[in-house]
Amino acid sequence: MSLPANKATPQFGPTENPYNFALQRYEGTVLLVTHDHDLIDEVATRLWVFHEDSIEDFQGPYAEWKGKHS
């Protein structure tokens, strides 16, 4: 999926991405691989954080995980 962040569409505001909108309302499971921290913070409810020698399973939003690891 790719859409420029500043692309405005009629049903969404100039900074609201329709993919984020759809992912927030989707009730199934999505495996999302990205470096986009804003996207992760908006749509993720569970994180698998890959470290050099382990994988951390974190239940919660990215902002909370980041706060605990800052």
| DSSP per-residue codes, the chain | ----TT---TTS-TT--HHHHHHHH--S--------HHHHHHH-SEEEEE-SS-EEEEES-HHHHHHHT-
2 C-beta neighbours (distance < 10 Å), count:
4
Contact 23, 43 (CB under 8 A): yes
The per-residue pLDDT for range 7-65, each reduced to its tens digit, is 445 555 555 778 888 888 899 998 989 888 888 988 899 999 999 999 999 999 999 99
What's the predicted TM-score (pTM) here? 0.66
